[in-house]
Structure 1
């Protein structure tokens, strides 16, 4: 059989189907198994390079959160060395309960880390170890098709775990920053430094992020009708609704008079739109009581997503979200445009 090059087919499954028709199932599985073996080594080399870049940067920092990230990076790099060498004898701890990260985070349940956020980190950490264990088992059996599947899922969840741990660190930093006095949200002057951290996180983990601008519809009419005290009250209540409907890892800024800007680390477009659509409906359904008045408001939202590669600035992404917001206003308000 002519040697097949990696990347000739869209998926390994497509390749297997074609070969099965031409050469039979046994020969098809043999070829796909060998190609899976090549893919494992090839992708592990690329992933190891990315994780080592992140580790070099993290070694320059020194705090508890950075220690978590460093430990998990070192674990992942050791795992990737085994993968590249196709070593079925693990050089990493496979029992997630014996891992440093698990033990230390379990001690934080009653401390500063929010319970919901902690559960997400612990579950992702467990998933990484489960897939790693299955990878080594498949390697021992020389079942490279399964090993490739488990490898991909282990690395995917490792990226997600690093992203979650970094989000905790950024979140704790943001809590120390001065908040907007009216809404209690993050002050706009801290937007760019935090945005740059989110971009850096996206570049090193190769995970997407999203940015959204939220604008109250017809806010001038509220001020003109009820006065600025009521307008301030409406802004405070909308800020509460936004906080309630976004996640602990998201950043919410008072961006302008009646505008809010939201950064969603490690969040692709589909997930961001779902989150923001839920928020839009929550605002629409809420009757806000201010100074004896019951007021219903709506918001328009523009959102953009990307995986950062170093070629754009925070302002580029903000302008993108602002343009989508403009389209939302133009199309009739009270909607999410992306």
Structure 2
């Protein structure tokens, strides 16, 4: 058995480094993964084993994977890859014949307990996200507030049920029984879901379907399938909250979500929308970038032609930027002559091409506002989710990149 474990341990390094390119980003963690997995393998291959002795180490390994941003699927991939070889080698050893039929159960137990540790850490992070969302909307007077608040409170109670291993739900599971479901049914006359209503309702039903499945797995303490269902559940929750936020932000100028001058999204709606998209990118492991844009020499336009002309220039620049963005992108007036562009599911490299195209387009376009007839240029700075631990760092890094673009001569993009 010792030789078998050492053989698997040696092959595991090669497996992580070469066979699965998905995991090359975790090269610095390979040794830790190898040591912890080998230790667990050594335990579950003991002929006479108290299976409960595996639980603390497996739980710790699950927490480690989550804390280091390593997918739980890595464990399943490792087991799927090496289990047939382990079975073949042990079948040749007579001393294991008595316990051979237990081998698959032991691996299943291992996957289950690692999933439990992973899930526990995941819930901690997601509860913090909910707490932050509730903080953001606490003082809001938006019509969005009761919708999002009720939904997040419902989700938070489900997380608490899972954390405390409650077999019965403490909240309504039927999609039309919860407060959010009731509000959606009553929203027909509000006029807010003309474009998004069906999509929101479908997403809400899926979330409740996932919740029902989670309680089934929780009741049976099937943490492996509970975790997989939970990851999908919270991914849908993030999308749902984001879609609600975007719906209200886009459709309600009277709620101050649109800037009255430029008619682009206002800074008031920025924190909610950006934080939602940031979290979706984190949990889906997809890119996200933002760009800070500033009109070059705008003060000179105001000083020479007056604020009325300046406002006209602002509106036309905002319109040109918006017209050259993709449908998935969002533009906010950040303040004065500064704009923030949100580019979901976009890497820094791709964001550069999008923003650089806009910068060049604007510099080639003559703006006409009364006496003012001239070309206007903008400078831009880009940052991506890879550079930032939160939305505030993301904005700060984009702002610093914008400063570098200004310092380098304006009318350009810096990353």
| TM class by smaller structure | 0.5 to 0.7
Deviation by residue 1:7-45 (Cα, 9 ceiling, x = unmatched): 455443333444562654824333112221343345335
Give the match for residue 230 of structure 2. 151
1:62-84 C-alpha deviation (Å, 9 max, x unpaired):
77432222211221122113212
Q: TM-score, normalised by structure 2?
A: 0.55
Change (3 A) 1:337 1:70: same
For residues 121 and 294 of structure 2, the distance between their equivalents in structure 1, rounded to whole angstroms, comes to: 46
Distance 1:118 1:83, change over 3 A: same
**Counterpart residue number, 2:400:** 323
Give me the whole-angstrom Cα distance separating, in 1, the residues matched to 2:110 and 2:291. 47
C-alpha contact 1:45 1:80 (8 A) present in aligned 2:
no
Q: Deviations over 1:257-312 (max 9, x none)?
A: xx322275xx7683788678546546755856737999876644213354549xx6
Q: Whole-Å Cα distance in 2 between the matches of residues 335 and 288 of structure 1?
A: 18
Q: How does 1:117-196 map to 2 (within 5 A)?
A: 121-122=200-201, 124-140=203-219, 142-165=221-244, 175-176=255-256, 183=262
Q: 1:240 aligns with which of 307, 314, 319?
A: 319
Q: Hey, what's the Cα distance between the residues in 1 that align with 2:314 and 2:141?
A: 38
Cα distance in 2, alignment partners of residues 274 and 110 from structure 1: 41
Aligned 8 A contact 1:185 1:239 in 2: yes
Q: Which residue of 2 aligns with 1:36?
A: 115
Structure with more of its chain in helix, by fraction: 2
- Count of matched residue positions in the alignment of Structure 1 and Structure 2: 319
Deviation, 1:151, is: 0.9
TM-score by length of 1: 0.65
* 1:231-278 superposed Cα distances (whole Å, 9 cap, x missing partner): 86554322123345488995622744xx322275xx768378867854
Larger relative CO (CA 8 A, sep 6+): 1 or 2? 1
Partner of 1:260: 338
- Which ranges in structure 2 are unaligned for 5 or more consecutive residues? 1-41, 44-53, 88-102, 283-287
**TM-fit CA distance, 1:102:** 3.8
Q: Which residue of 2 aligns with 1:14?
A: 74
Give the secondary structure class of the aligned counterpart of 1:93: coil
Distance 1:165 1:276, change over 3 A: farther
Counterpart CA distance in 1 for 2:334 and 2:118 is: 47
Question: Aligned with 1:96: secondary structure?
Answer: coil
Q: Decide whether the 8 Å contact of 1:167 with 1:249 is kept in 2.
A: no
Distance 1:321 1:109 in 2: 40
Give distance in 2, aligned partners of 1:131 and 1:61. 30
